[in-house]
């Protein structure tokens, strides 16, 4: 049975990256602006609209419009915010981490649509899984992250993207479109030719010849001369877009932000943060062993460290304290434990906070192994805690603490495994080729023998 691919299409990605952390922007006329040309001079190219909400669209705001023109269309009504590239990258990581819990392979994809306003990610559909039920599961995961998306499932990447971006009901914010097996060509046949990345000149020429759909384009004879650097657009139109996925591997630490609005309590904001953290940790197959909480208030920012692995069970909440075993710390895995631990660590600071940021600076592989108490840990093991609790990668099974000093750095194995720079340069001067006496021309010797 061939592999099936699911495409996660997130419209207006720059806007959704902001609304997922600031709920007050939802439903309001908002335009996200940024530099439209990479490396351009700000004095010549002002900020342009990269994404806008439905309310802003009804006011006449369009993608590609300058920020000045957008403000003139709706003075006093439009909220103009600046896009945050770092926040968008973190949102992509959050989606990929959460999708790892429901799919074995996740591809972060890239921007799609006019001006790159949308985001398309891809993941492998598990074997013996119905497309519609799997798509609904993906929608639930993304809704927990505060995102609205559309899901397309097909035999190849291109058809899955078309199904997610253009296959649903017009105006529908979310939904699932599953293309039947071996039905990609029939699904793509009536679609417009503009879905392919063909230059406008070539597209106008084809339309003049009566080729307006992907099915008509796929029926054309193959070109007589193939160019290796160009994509095979006819193969895409036939539903042969390929199934290759670039596996995503978590590397950066998990970070989640949220703005506490007037209609939201601090406890509710902590619960939302805990749920998102639990989703991402479940995708990585790990638990939180060390966290850093940043509280933003009128008095400024305050960092609150939290190390549940080294803390007593009574400090982690009632659920943790009622667990069997001695009174020692543990890693945090589910949303309830995370919310209770974060709430206890903040204390009275939560009542005056307007923004929260939680970073998982230490992760441990989750499992059923017994938790070691600080008193039972060897001294060298406790010193190695910052080395063992890494924030990269994923794994399964029980977590354990190992000492990096188990093998001395001067052992033969360590010296043999040491990597040396292959491009190291030496400070040698130019070495001219030495000419031997036997290689000298014979003509001077002939003249030297003459008297």
DSSP character string of 71-127: HHHSTTTPEEEE--HHHHHHHHHHHHHHHTTT-S-EEEEEEESGGG-EEEEEEEEPT
Here the contacts of 61-69 (C-beta below 8 Å, separation 24 or greater) are 61/29, 61/31, 63/114, 63/115, 63/117, 64/36, 64/114, 64/115, 67/31, 67/33
**206: closest CA among 193, 195, 197?**
193
Q: Is the dihedral of CA 358, 362, 367, 368 positive or negative?
A: negative
The yes-or-no verdict on residue 175 having pLDDT over 80 is yes
Q: What is the pLDDT of residue 173?
A: 78
329-354 b/e with 16+ CB inside 10 Å = b?
bbbbbbbbbbbbbbbebbeebbeebe
What is the domain partition of the chain in residue ranges?
4-71+81-178, 188-237, 254-405
DSSP class of residue 446 equals H
The mean pLDDT value for 397-413 works out to: 35
Confidence of residue 115 (pLDDT cuts 50, 70, 90): confident
Secondary structure element (H or E) that encloses residue 292, with its range? strand 286-297
CA angle 256, 259, 261 (to 5 degrees): 150
Domain 254-405 maps to which CATH number in 3.40.50.1370, 3.30.1490.100, 3.20.20.70, 2.40.37.10? 3.30.1490.100
**Total-model pTM:** 0.76
DSSP class of residue 435 equals P
Distance, C-alpha 364 to centroid of its chain: 21
If you write DSSP's letter for every residue of 330-373 in order, what string do you get?
A: --B-SHHHHHHHHHHHHGGGGGGEEEEEEEEEEEEE--SSPPPP
DSSP class of residue 43 equals T
The yes-or-no verdict on residue 430 having pLDDT over 90 is no
CATH 3.30.70.270 assigned to domain 4-71+81-178? The reply is: yes
Distance, C-alpha 442 to centroid of its chain: 74
Distance (Å) of CA 206 to CA 21, 239, 272:
45, 20, 51
The mean pLDDT value for 366-380 works out to: 39
Confidence of residue 310 (pLDDT cuts 50, 70, 90): low
- Contacts (Cβ under 8 Å, ≥6 apart) of 255: 90, 357, 358, 359, 360
Q: What is the pLDDT of residue 384?
A: 29
DSSP class of residue 416 equals H
Q: What is the pLDDT of residue 397?
A: 34
Read off the tokens for 76. 């006093």
> Residues of the chain with pLDDT > 70: what percent?
72
Question: What are 177's strand-pairing partners?
Answer: 152
Secondary structure element (H or E) that encloses residue 31, with its range? strand 30-35
Question: What are 355's strand-pairing partners?
Answer: 259, 296
What three-state secondary structure class fits 176? strand
Question: What are 328's strand-pairing partners?
Answer: none
The mean pLDDT value for 166-172 works out to: 79
What is the residue-averaged pLDDT of the chain?
78
The yes-or-no verdict on residue 325 having pLDDT over 50 is no
Strands, sheet with 106-112, edge to edge from the N-terminal-most edge strand: 106-112, 118-125, 4-10, 150-154, 175-178
Q: What distance in Å separates the CA atoms of residue 12 and residue 17, rounded to the nearest whole number?
A: 9
The yes-or-no verdict on residue 314 having pLDDT over 70 is no
Distance, C-alpha 113 to centroid of its chain: 18
The yes-or-no verdict on residue 148 having pLDDT over 70 is yes
Secondary structure element (H or E) that encloses residue 51, with its range? strand 47-52
Q: Among all chains, which residue has been given the structure tokens 């009632």?
A: 318
Q: What length does the chain have? A: 451
The mean pLDDT value for 320-330 works out to: 45
Secondary structure element (H or E) that encloses residue 152, with its range? strand 150-154
Q: Among all chains, which residue has been given the structure tokens 């529908």?
A: 172
The yes-or-no verdict on residue 435 having pLDDT over 60 is no
More confident residue, 222 or 186: 186
Confidence of residue 366 (pLDDT cuts 50, 70, 90): low
**Is 270:248 a contact under the CB 8 Å cutoff?**
no
Highest mean pLDDT among 125-129, 270-274, 300-304, 327-331: 270-274
Q: What distance in Å separates the CA atoms of residue 179 and residue 128, rounded to the nearest whole number?
A: 16
Q: Of 51-55, 219-223, 399-403, 418-422, which range is least confident?
A: 399-403
Render pLDDT for 237-294 as a digit per residue (tens, 0 to 9). Answer: 999 988 899 999 998 999 999 999 888 888 999 999 999 999 999 999 999 999 999 9
Helices (H), 246-308: 266-284
> Residues of the chain with pLDDT > 90: what percent?
53
Read off the tokens for 337. 């434990």
Render pLDDT for 83-111 as a digit per residue (tens, 0 to 9). Answer: 999 999 999 999 999 999 999 999 999 99
Render pLDDT for 26-64 as a digit per residue (tens, 0 to 9). Answer: 999 999 998 754 444 454 557 899 999 999 999 999 998
Q: What distance in Å separates the CA atoms of residue 53 and residue 27, rounded to the nearest whole number?
A: 7
């Amino acid at each position: 049975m061939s592999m099936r691919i699911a495409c996660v299409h997130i419209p207006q990605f720059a806007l959704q990256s902001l609304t997922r952390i600031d709920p007050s922007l939802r439903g309001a006329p908002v335009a996200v602006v940024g530099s439209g040309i990479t490396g351009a001079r700000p004095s010549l190219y002002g900020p342009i609209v990269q994404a806008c909400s439905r309310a802003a669209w009804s006011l006449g705001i369009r993608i590609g419009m300058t920020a000045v023109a957008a403000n003139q269309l709706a003075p006093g009504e439009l909220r103009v915010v600046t896009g945050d590239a770092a926040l968008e990258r973190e949102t992509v990581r959050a989606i990929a981490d959460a999708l790892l819990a429901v799919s074995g392979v996740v591809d972060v994809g890239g921007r799609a649509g006019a001006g790159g306003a949308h985001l398309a990610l891809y993941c492998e559909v598990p074997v013996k899984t119905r497309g519609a039920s799997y798509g609904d599961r993906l929608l639930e995961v993304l809704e927990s992250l505060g995102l609205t998306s559309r899901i397309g499932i097909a035999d190849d990447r291109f058809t899955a993207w078309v199904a997610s971006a253009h296959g649903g009901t017009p105006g529908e914010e979310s939904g699932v479109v599953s293309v039947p097996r071996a039905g990609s060509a029939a699904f793509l046949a009536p679609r417009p030719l503009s879905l392919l990345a063909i230059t406008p000149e070539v597209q106008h020429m084809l339309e003049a010849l009566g080729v307006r759909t992907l099915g008509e384009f796929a029926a054309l004879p193959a070109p007589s001369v193939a160019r290796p650097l160009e994509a095979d657009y006819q193969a895409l139109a036939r539903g042969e877009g390929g199934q290759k996925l670039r596996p995503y591997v978590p590397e950066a630490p998990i970070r989640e932000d949220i703005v506490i609005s007037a209609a939201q309590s601090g406890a509710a904001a902590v619960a939302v943060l805990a749920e998102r953290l639990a989703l991402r940790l479940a995708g990585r197959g790990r638990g939180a062993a060390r966290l850093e909480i940043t509280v933003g208030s009128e008095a400024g920012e305050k960092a609150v460290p939290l190390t549940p692995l080294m803390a007593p069970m009574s400090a982690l909440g009632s659920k943790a304290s009622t667990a069997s075993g001695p009174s020692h710390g543990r890693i945090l895995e589910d949303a309830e434990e995370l919310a209770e631990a974060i709430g206890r660590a903040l204390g009275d600071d939560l009542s005056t906070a307007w923004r929260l940021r939680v970073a998982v600076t230490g992760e441990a592989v989750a499992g059923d192994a017994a938790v070691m108490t600080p008193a039972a840990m060897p001294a060298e093991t406790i010193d190695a805690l910052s080395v063992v609790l890494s924030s990269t990668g994923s794994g399964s099974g029980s977590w354990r603490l190992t000492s990096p000093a188990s093998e001395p750095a001067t052992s033969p194995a360590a010296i043999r495994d040491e990597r040396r720079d292959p491009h190291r340069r030496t400070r040698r001067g130019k070495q001219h080729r030495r000419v031997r006496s036997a290689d000298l021309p014979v003509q001077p010797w002939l003249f030297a023998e003459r008297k």
